[in-house]
Amino acid sequence: MTVFQQVKKIYLDRKAENSGQVNNLLKKLPNLPVEVVEEVKDIQQEIRLASDPVGESKQLIFLTEQKSFIRPCPCTSGCFGCGYWTLDLDLNCPFDCSYCILQKYLEGQPITLATNREHLRKELEQFFARERTEVIRIGTGELADSLALEELTGNAIFLADIFRNRPGYLLELKSKAASIQTLMSITPVPNLILSWSLNPESVIRSEEKGTASLEERFQSAVAAAKHGYRLGFHFDPIIHYPGWEEDYQSVVLRLFKLIPEEAISWISLGTLRFPPDLPLVARRRFPKSSIYEHEFVRSWDGKFRYPRPLRLRMYESIVEMISQFGSDKKIYLCMESPEVWEVITRKIKKGRHLNTFPFPWEN
Ligand code: SF4
């Protein structure tokens, strides 16, 4: 069963009825009821009445035109940012992770697919025309999984075509899916980075419902690297539990056993973090999950994190594991404080404190 077979109904925004992508998408989703609506509020009303609104939102697709697509990654206030840009092409995700921030952030939003691709193309052309002094990283994995619905949308190859021959712009497609068939059917794009989130298999099975197994992700990464794509990996969120260190060590060993080091563009690390109201929803939706049964501290940005000494120990341990394979200089931290960055990046750069992104990407 493909992930979009869980969809039970399609809503079509009346304003998007004549949009280019609508027919293509509807053809791939035959035999499903289609209802034309005036605005997303009509669907949200229905979603809120469900016993599990988040679960319900993942079974409904809304086809609409997005007003705009590109924005600087908001990161979180007081964090040491990494200069990322986001491209919000889809909203919401058919997978169901117990730690997923979208459960709160996109409350009541059905899986929303943008149908106005020509608008997106124009916005990207304007983006490319802006003056820039550095390599830009931009990705579609902020409010959705970049590849979960690829068989349905073909967004990845659409974007691959636009980013081809745009050497100063790195497009990242970040995923927990294994579906790379479309991208394997085209000549690889040197500035397209395919990246996977990594966690021990036990965490994937208990916390990342519907996603590909660790081995499936690795096998897709191996195939992508062989085809000529550059890769990224995200240890995010790193979860603390008895035996975590051995489990993450096994993931790191497997990663470098399978993937040639030179194919890796970057590796990010980020420990579990969440806004105060997420556990309320997540505990109800995932009663067997124990990730929230831990000591957390409220951080500078209002989110909860493991206490700083524990986070540092976790980062230092994983950096150490990765440094055995010479990839430590490719590591950066996601949503971390300047204090933690300083300790970790000093270690990586052997004494140099960095004020900018830790490594200069080549064009
Ligand atoms: S794959 Fe990402 S976007 Fe999808 S449910 Fe999991 S954390 Fe959320």
What token pair was written down for 101? 């921030």
Q: Which of 115, 102, 185 is nearest to 142 (CA)?
A: 102
Per-residue pLDDT tens, the chain, 363 aa: give them. Answer: 666 779 999 999 999 998 879 999 999 999 999 999 999 999 999 999 999 999 999 999 999 999 999 998 776 666 666 678 999 999 999 999 999 999 999 988 999 999 999 999 999 999 999 988 888 899 998 899 999 999 999 999 999 999 999 988 999 999 999 999 999 999 999 999 999 999 999 999 999 999 999 999 999 999 999 999 999 999 999 999 999 999 999 999 999 999 999 999 999 999 999 999 999 999 999 999 999 999 999 998 999 999 999 999 999 999 999 999 999 889 989 888 888 988 887 766 554 444 445 555 444
DSSP class of residue 363 equals: -
**pLDDT value at residue 355:** 40
Measured by CA distance, the residue closest to atom 3 of ligand 1 is 144
Three-state SS at 351: coil
Measured by CA distance, the residue closest to atom 6 of ligand 1 is 97
Contact between 218 and 263 (Cβ < 8 Å): no
For ligand 1, the distance from its centroid to the CA atom of residue 148, given in whole angstroms, is 9
**pLDDT value at residue 4:** 72
**pLDDT value at residue 111:** 97
**Is 281 buried (19+), middle (13-18) or exposed (0-12) by CB count in 10 A?**
middle
What token pair was written down for 97? 């992770």
For ligand 1, the distance from its centroid to the CA atom of residue 96, given in whole angstroms, is 6
The best mutation among 57, 98, 102 to test binding of ligand 1, ranked by most ligand atoms within 8 Å of the C-beta, falls on 102
Task: Judge if pTM exceeds 0.75.
Answer: yes
Q: Which of 238, 265, 237 is nearest to 357 (CA)?
A: 265
Within 8 A by CB and 6+ apart from 310, the residues are: 240
In angstroms, the CA 333 to CA 331 distance is 7
Contact between 95 and 208 (Cβ < 8 Å): yes
For ligand 1, the distance from its centroid to the CA atom of residue 302, given in whole angstroms, is 21
The best mutation among 54, 86, 90, 95 to test binding of ligand 1, ranked by most ligand atoms within 8 Å of the C-beta, falls on 95
Nearest ligand 1 atom, CA 176: 1
What token pair was written down for 146? 């970049």
In angstroms, the CA 313 to CA 114 distance is 42
Three-state SS at 286: coil
Within 8 A by CB and 6+ apart from 265, the residues are: 170, 193, 230, 231, 232, 330, 361
In angstroms, the CA 176 to CA 141 distance is 10
For ligand 1, the distance from its centroid to the CA atom of residue 55, given in whole angstroms, is 12
For ligand 1, the distance from its centroid to the CA atom of residue 208, given in whole angstroms, is 8
**pLDDT value at residue 1:** 62
| Domains with residue ranges and CATH for the chain | 3-348 (3.80.30.30)
Nearest ligand 1 atom, CA 208: 6
For ligand 1, the distance from its centroid to the CA atom of residue 281, given in whole angstroms, is 15
The per-residue b/e assignment along 159-194, b for 16 or more CB within 10 angstroms, e otherwise, is bbebbbebeebbbbbbbbbbbbebbeeeebbebbbb
Measured by CA distance, the residue closest to atom 2 of ligand 1 is 145
The best mutation among 96, 97, 234, 289 to test binding of ligand 1, ranked by most ligand atoms within 8 Å of the C-beta, falls on 97
Measured by CA distance, the residue closest to atom 8 of ligand 1 is 100
**pLDDT value at residue 26:** 95
**pLDDT value at residue 363:** 41
Measured by CA distance, the residue closest to atom 7 of ligand 1 is 100
Nearest ligand 1 atom, CA 99: 7
What token pair was written down for 281? 């929803």
Using a 6 Å CB cutoff, which residues line ligand 1? 93, 95-97, 100, 102, 144-145, 176, 211
Nearest ligand 1 atom, CA 103: 8
